[in-house]
Amino acid sequence: MQDPATPPPAPIAEDGLRPVAHLELKAVALMLFTLALIVGSALYLLYARGAFEPTQTLVLTADDSEGVVVGMDMTFSGFPIGRVRRIELADEGHARIVIDVPRKDAHWLRVSSIFTLVRGVVGGTNIRAYSGMLQDDPLPDGAERAVLKGDATGEIPQLMAEARALLGNLNALTAEDSALGASLANVKDLTERLKGPGGALQVLMGNAQDARKIVATLDRTNALLARMDGMAAKADQQVFGPGGVLPEVQATVAQLGGLLADTRASLKKVDAVLAEAQAVGANVREGTADLGALRAEVESNLRKIEGLVNDINRKWPFARDTELKLP
């Protein structure tokens, strides 16, 4: 018999599975959680892309908007600072590109900024901003600027023409009758002559006969140098050998040294004799002075005698003229 306090067992489904309590409520909660997750992810993506940041509008005008799509970034020094919000056709027929620039990045744009629309050969179109003078006034909100276009594909025809001209020049250079072909032929001929018997010497001299003369001259020069080496060896032996000139010169120098010593002793003796001669000369000089005075006195006496003789000769009867003159 069953206890009245015990709850009755749950009914078992026909397929053998037990039913889940509050299934509908749980399903609604799961759906709400999934929806909230999706909405949160969308809001985060919008936040990450700056959808909730304050922005200012920049309008770029161009002849056409080829290659520009909504959501494209506008870069400054390689960093994105704006995004294309929409593209529209103006009444004048040119394209208007509306760009949202976040306020935190708007300080990079100045009234003197330049905007370019560049189409590359490989890759898409790029919108770039350049600010040369960051000290200029900031770009106001809603400013409209013309964009400069640069199409790299426009230079392809010019590049093809230049490449075609370059190939033509290469064909002209490599032709058989070109100057380069003639130079290569001359180089080949020169190489063959260098490999010949005369080698580089024949190439330098111009013919084999002159080259042989140069070789003969070199041989004679080598023989002469060998003879000179032998003569130098003999001269070395004769000069510096045991019986050479140098030992005899050294002996002679030794003898000259002895003679010089003897001469030095003799000179000392001569110096002593000269000293004595100088003493004798001094005495002779004093005697010579006395003799000079004596000679002067003798000459004076002789002059007096000569005068007296002349007076006697002038007087008669010693005068030579004996003629008497009457008064």
More confident residue, 160 or 324: 160
Of the ranges 33-37, 215-219, 280-284, 293-297, the best mean pLDDT one: 33-37
Cβ(74)–Cβ(128) below 8 Å:
yes
pLDDT score, position 207: 66
Q: In which order are the strands placed within the sheet that holds 148-151?
A: 143-146, 55-62, 95-102, 79-89, 73-76, 125-130, 114-119, 148-151
Looking at the fold, whether 149 and 57 belong to one and the same domain comes out as: yes
**Domains: count for the chain:** 4
Q: How many other CB atoms are there within 10 angstroms of residue 146's CB atom?
A: 12
Mean pLDDT of 243-259: 68
What would the mean pLDDT of 20-40 be, rounded to a whole number? 87
Q: Are residues 70 and 103 in the same domain?
A: yes
Q: What is residue 129's predicted lDDT score, i.e. its pLDDT?
A: 92
Q: Are residues 132 and 59 in the same domain?
A: yes
Query: Of 213, 240, 267, at which residue does a domain stop?
Result: 240
| The pLDDT value given to residue 51 | 66
Specify the 3-state DSSP secondary structure of 153.
helix
Residue 107 reports pLDDT greater than 80? yes
Is 302 domain-assigned? no
- Domain boundary residue among 153, 175, 205? 153
Quote the pLDDT of residue 326: 42
Position 265, amino acid: A
Position 324 confidence tier, pLDDT thresholds 50, 70, 90: very low
User: Both 64 and 142 in a single domain?
Assistant: yes
| In contact, 205 and 211? CB cutoff 8 Å | yes
Q: Please, are residues 131 and 125 in contact by the beta-carbon 8 Å criterion?
A: no
Comparing 114-128, 221-235, 272-286, the range with the smallest average pLDDT is 272-286
- CB-based burial label for 210 (10 Å; 0-12, 13-18, 19+): middle
Length of the chain: 327
The pLDDT score that the predictor gives to residue 273 is: 74
Establish whether the linkage from the previous residue to 197 is cis, with ω within 30° of 0.
no
Q: What is the DSSP letter of 139?
A: P
Best-predicted range by mean pLDDT among 108-117, 121-130, 153-162? 108-117
User: Is 57 in contact with 100 (CB distance < 8 Å)?
Assistant: yes
Largest CA distance in the chain: 242
> What's the confidence (pLDDT) of residue 153?
58
Whole-angstrom Cα distance, residue 137 to residue 75?
20
CB 128 within 8 A of CB 109: no
Q: Is the pLDDT of residue 123 over 70?
A: no
What is the per-residue pLDDT for 39? 92
Q: What backbone phi and psi angles, to 5 degrees, belong to 309?
A: -65, -40
- 97 and 28 together in one domain: no
Around Cβ 196, how many Cβ atoms within 10 Å? 12
Is residue 174 a part of any domain in this protein?
A: no
Could you tell me if residue 202 is inside a domain?
yes
On whether both 112 and 201 belong to a single domain, the answer is no
Residue 133 has pLDDT above 80, yes or no: yes
- For residue 139, give both structure tokens: 């770009």
Work out the percent of the chain whose per-residue pLDDT is above 70: 68
- Quick check: is 261 in a domain? yes
Say yes or no to pLDDT of 295 above 80.
Answer: no
Is the CB of residue 127 less than 8 Å from the CB of residue 97? yes
Q: What pLDDT score does 74 carry?
A: 92
Do 73 and 24 have their domain in common?
A: no
Q: Tell how far CA 38 is from the center of its chain.
A: 66
Per-residue pLDDT tens digits for 135-181: 889 999 989 999 887 765 566 677 778 888 888 888 887 777 777 77
Query: Which amino acid would we find at residue 226?
Result: A
Q: Is 195 part of any domain?
A: yes
Residue 225: domain span: 185-240
DSSP per-residue codes, 197-209: SSHHHHHHHSSHH
Helical segments of the chain, H only: 23-48, 156-173, 179-194, 199-205, 208-240, 245-314
User: Please, what is the average pLDDT of the chain?
Assistant: 76
* 212: helix, strand or coil: helix
Q: Tell me the CA distances in angstroms from 263 to 139, 250, 266, 273, 279, one per residue in order.
A: 115, 20, 5, 15, 24
Point out the least confidently predicted range of 102-106, 144-148, 201-205. Answer: 201-205
Mean of pLDDT values over 62-67: 86
Q: Is the pLDDT of residue 33 over 70?
A: yes
Q: Are residues 254 and 236 in the same domain?
A: no
Whole-number Å distance between alpha carbons of 116 and 129: 7
Q: Is the pLDDT of residue 243 over 70?
A: no
Q: If you average pLDDT over each of 2-6, 81-85, 204-208, 254-258, which comes out highest?
A: 81-85
β-partners of residue 176 are none
At residue 317, the pLDDT reads 45
253 is a domain residue: yes
| pLDDT at res. 23 | 79
